[in-house]
Amino acid sequence: MIGGGQAGLAAGYYLRRAKVDFVILDAQDSAGGAWQHAWDSLRLFSPAQYSSLPGRMMPIPPDGGYPSATEVVTYLTDYERRYDLPVLRPVTVNAVRRGDGRLLVETGHGTWQAKNVISATGTWWRPYVPHYPGIRDFRGEQLHTAGYRGPEPFHGRRVLIVGGGNSAAQILAELSRVAQTTWATLRPPRLLPDEIDGRALFDLATRRHRAAQAGEKTQGIADLGDIVAVPPVREARDRGVLKAEPMFSRITPDGVAWDDGSTEAYDTIVWCTGFRPALAHLSPLRLRGPGGVIPTDGTRALAEPRLHLLGYGDWTGPASATLIGAARTARQTAAEIVAQL
């Protein structure tokens, strides 16, 4: 298995129960996956009891609220230790190739041979920044969500936050207390109803996935809104700072410009524009289809049935990039691998 974050650990739990011989190769120095690199104030969208991996309930935070990124790291570290999962780190996988009857996993510590490979590298390692005219001429600071840690360095600055999703709303809520902020989005952002959190989102994603398999249509998450109204976002909404401006057309050396000719100066641009699947290690297999994703049946790659992709988003299982989604998808993946073996 490639990747020792939440998806890799969930699959490891089921493979361990099935007494399968396996190893998890993780590029990180310590347990916790991408959560150990998230900004300090980040919290889950769901309560602890709805954000757990199989076999071990996530502890409820002392404040009774949604778990923080730090608490998720502690939970994943304990989970890995509790089930004695065979994680080797830091081991970076450079390539996966077809061998004589097996897949070859090439790393900086030698080459592994496997009858099946699960790729669970996630998306955090491939932050996406769209290209805008003038982006290289900007004299201020630019950073992506992946590089944001907290509000302290931004006191008194003019900050432009770009993107219409949850990360943008949470970071805006935090930065607006210490900086002069502007929010730019492609379309007007919509908060989900206050009662909608990760539990409802996962149920919606599951129903949508099942309907798609049956050739039917159903209500999607986007029909309800874009942003989960977690407490910091609600507070920012009540302060009136969640007002978004239309997307600019170009970047200037000192800021940005809009189509109507107006301009604004900024010290910092924070790109909250999402991520792409980290799949470079699979390039030798030549599996990518339209849009850069690998066509799958469930989690199994259609053109290479010995390869499973776990935890990259809805195309590898309903809400599979979430803790609960990864756990449910991992169970099916492990069962298919056991059947193959």
Q: pLDDT tens digit string along 121-139?
A: 999 999 999 999 999 999 9
pLDDT score for 202:
61
Domain count, the chain: 2
pLDDT score for 278:
95
pLDDT score for 194:
74
- For 226-284, what is each residue's pLDDT tens digit? 788 888 999 999 999 999 999 999 999 999 999 999 999 999 999 999 999 999 999 99
141 and 90 part of one domain = no
300 and 318 part of one domain = yes
**Residue found under tokens 């259609």:** 302
- Whether 264 is in a domain gets the answer yes
- Whether 58 is in a domain gets the answer yes
Mark which of 238, 271, 304 sits at the end of a domain: 271
Q: What's the whole-number mean pLDDT along residues 310-332?
A: 87
Q: How many C-beta atoms surround the C-beta of residue 340 within 10 A?
A: 12
171 and 59 part of one domain = no
- Whether 243 is in a domain gets the answer yes
CA distances from 210 to 140, 178, 216, 313, 317 (A): 46, 44, 8, 15, 10
166 and 96 part of one domain = no
- Whether 209 is in a domain gets the answer no
pLDDT score for 207:
63
256 and 151 part of one domain = yes
- Residue 68 bridge partners (DSSP): 43
Q: How many helices (H) and strands (E) does the chain have?
A: 6, 17
Q: Which residue, 65, 51, 246, is CA-closest to 160?
A: 246
**Cα separation of 327 and 322, whole Å?**
8
**Cα separation of 336 and 339, whole Å?**
5
**Cα separation of 206 and 227, whole Å?**
18
Q: What's the whole-number mean pLDDT along residues 303-312?
A: 96
Q: pTM for this structure?
A: 0.89
- Whether 21 is in a domain gets the answer yes
**Cα separation of 309 and 313, whole Å?**
10
What's the domain range around 257? 135-191+226-271
Q: Which residue, 341, 316, 340, is CA-closest to 328?
A: 316
262 and 279 part of one domain = no
| 219 has pLDDT over 70 | no
Between 16 and 231, whose confidence is greater? 16
Q: What is the dihedral of CA 338, 87, 37, 10, to 10 degrees?
A: 30
142 and 248 part of one domain = yes
Query: Cis bond leading into 90, ω under 30°?
Result: yes
Within 13 Å and on the Cβ side, how many CA atoms surround 292?
9
250 and 323 part of one domain = no
146 and 177 part of one domain = yes
Tell me how long the chain is: 341
**Cα separation of 109 and 113, whole Å?**
13
Q: How many C-beta atoms surround the C-beta of residue 184 within 10 A?
A: 19
8 A C-beta contact, residue 257 and residue 248: yes
- Whether 201 is in a domain gets the answer no
Question: What CATH number did the domain enclosing 251 receive?
Answer: 3.50.50.60
Q: What would you report as the CA-atom Rg of the chain, rounded to the nearest whole angstrom?
A: 21
Residue 101: what residue type?
Answer: G
Q: What's the whole-number mean pLDDT along residues 305-325?
A: 89
Q: What residues have CB less than 8 Å from 260, skipping those under 6 apart?
A: none
Percent of the chain with pLDDT over 90: 75
CA distances from 109 to 88, 105, 233, 323 (A): 10, 10, 45, 29
47 and 93 part of one domain = yes
Query: Cis bond leading into 151, ω under 30°?
Result: no
pLDDT score for 45:
80
Question: Residue 300, SS3?
Answer: strand
Question: Residue 98, SS3?
Answer: strand
**Residue found under tokens 């201020």:** 140
- Whether 214 is in a domain gets the answer no
- For 49-100, what is each residue's pLDDT tens digit? 888 999 999 999 988 888 999 999 999 999 999 999 999 999 999 999 999 9
20 and 84 part of one domain = yes
81 and 150 part of one domain = no
| 213 has pLDDT over 60 | no
Q: Which residue, 168, 169, 186, 201, is CA-closest to 50?
A: 201
Mark which of 218, 239, 271 sits at the end of a domain: 271
Mark which of 249, 271, 293 sits at the end of a domain: 271
- For 151-209, what is each residue's pLDDT tens digit? 999 999 999 999 999 999 999 999 999 999 999 999 999 888 877 766 666 666 566 55
pLDDT score for 178:
97
Question: Residue 214, SS3?
Answer: coil
Q: How many C-beta atoms surround the C-beta of residue 185 within 10 A?
A: 19
- Whether 204 is in a domain gets the answer no
